[in-house]
Structure 1
C-alpha cells in the first residue's frame, strides 16, 4: 500500500513526503508544479505531474499504486489573493477537492489527512483557539477550506472513509537536515520574507498593520516548525490505520509572537538590521491567532521537537542561503 501526497512538491507537502519516507512508507506525489518544485520530490518517491482535480488521473494513480491513504496539501493559500480572486480559490481549494474525494471514494481509499487552516476561525473570540469554537472565516481562503472540511465530514458518514483535518496556524522553518524548505521566491510567509530581507534579497520588509488590538499593534501568530507539523500528519495517519475515529485538530504550539517580535528575532539571529516599512492593514487578516493545541498532543501523542523561534529562524536562514548558492551555481 502507498500514500498519495497531493501538493507533495510544495513547502509543507514536501516535508510530509520526507517524514513518510523516513518512516518507511511508499509514497506517490501528485503535483501540477504550478507553485511546487520537481526538485523537492525525493528520488525514493514516485512522481505524477498533474491536477488533483483531474478525477481520471487520480483514479488511475490510486489503482496503479495501491493507494490506501491520501494526504491532501494541494491548495492556494494567500489570504489577500483569495479576497481579490475568490472564485479561483473556490475552484482550486473546494471544487477540485470534491473531485479528489470522489476519486478516493470510488477507488476504495480508506483514509484522508487534510491540510486545513486556522483561517476557518476568522476573528476568534478567544485565544488560544479551541477546536470546538464556531467557524466564522472572514476570507475566501478560510471559507474554501471550511467547505472541504464539511465535505470530509459528510463523506465519512456516507462512505465510511476516515479522516483527520489538521488546522495549521503559521508554518515556518525548514527540514533540519537541509533537504527541503520554503522555495517559492515571492512567498508571503513572514519568516521567509524577513530572512530574504536579512540576506539582501529584498530591499525592505513591509509590516501590514500596526493598529491592531495587540501588545504592539501588529498581528500575533502561532508559528509551528514545518517538520513538527509534518510529524503530526504521520501520527494522524497511524491513528486512522489503527482504527481511530475521524478527528479535527489544531496544529500549533499555543504561543503567539507579534510580527514586530518575529522581525526582532530575525534581526538578532542574522545580525542584520534591515529596513522595515510600516503599511496599512491587508484585507482578511485577523488580529491574533494562537492555537489551543492540547488535543493533538493528547490524542496523537504528538511532541514538538523544534519549538523554539530562534531555532526556526536559523533553519529558515540556512535554507535561504542554500537556495541562493544553488541558484548561483
Structure 2
C-alpha cells in the first residue's frame, strides 16, 4: 500500500536501484504503517495490524528495516508476511529479474534460514513448496495425461491436443493430429508450452523439445509455470460471457480467479480461437453480488470435450477489482474455518 506513494520510475526501474533510490523504497513500510493505522484506528479488534505491516521488512538477523529488530523482537506475524512476500517476489516476473523456479526458491530459503527469515517458518514454507512440487510431478508421472501442446514459431503458433507419457528420462507427447505434427521442424521452434489437466484444474508448463520422431515430441525439460497473479484461488463459480454476436451470451464455469485474471471452462463449440485478444465482457456471479468485467482471452486449450480459457482483465475500475478481492478474502476465511473445523471436530 505504501508503494503507491513511491515514484513509479523507481518501483518499475529495469535494473538495480541506487543507494538513494533504495532508501526511498524503504520508506514504504512506514507509509503503509501510517495509512493502515489511520484507516483501522476505530476498529479495536484489528489493533496490531499496523504494527505487523510496519515491521514486515525486518530480518531475523537484525539487518532489516525500519528499526533493525531481530529474532523475538520482530512480531511473529511480520515474520510470516516477510517470508510470504519474498517467496511471492521470487516466483513473480519483475522488471529487473526473471521468475525463479520452485527449486531455486527452496535453495534461497535454505541459504537465508536464520538470516533473513525465521528458521521455523523456512521449514514450513519449504515443506509447503515441496508438497506442491510433488503434486505436480505425480500428475506428470501418471501413466497417461490428457494435455495440450503449443509450439511457437516466429510468426505462427501450432496447437495440438494429445497424450503425455513418460519413458525413462523423457516425456513423450503423442498428438492426435499426426498430419499437422509432421509439418513441425525442430529448428524453427522458438518456444513451447504445455497445459496438463487433472480432475479440477489445468496446470501450465514451459517445456523444451529435444527431438521429433515418428510425429511424436520428445521432451527433455519440463517446468511448472507459476501463475503471474500474486493472489488467486481455485474456485467453482458460474459466469456469463457476452460474445460479439448480436444478443448472444454463454454460460461458463470459472475455475480459478485472481486480481488480474481468471480461468474458465465451457463445453460450447470451438469459437474461442476467433475471440483471442478481442475485448469481451464477462459477469462473475458471486453468491451475494455480480461483478461485470472486461478483458481478453489470452490462452485457449481444448482438453477432452471442454475448452479452457485464460481471461486477462482489461480497463476495469479499481472499485470492481476491490469487489473481487473482497470475495477472495471472504473465500479464504471460509476455507480456513473449514480447515479448523476438520482439525477440531468437537469444537
TM-score w.r.t. the length of structure 1 is 0.30
Counting strand residues as a fraction of each chain, which structure ranks higher? Answer: 2
Larger Rg: 2
Counting helix residues as a fraction of each chain, which structure ranks higher? Answer: 1
TM-score w.r.t. the length of structure 2 is 0.29
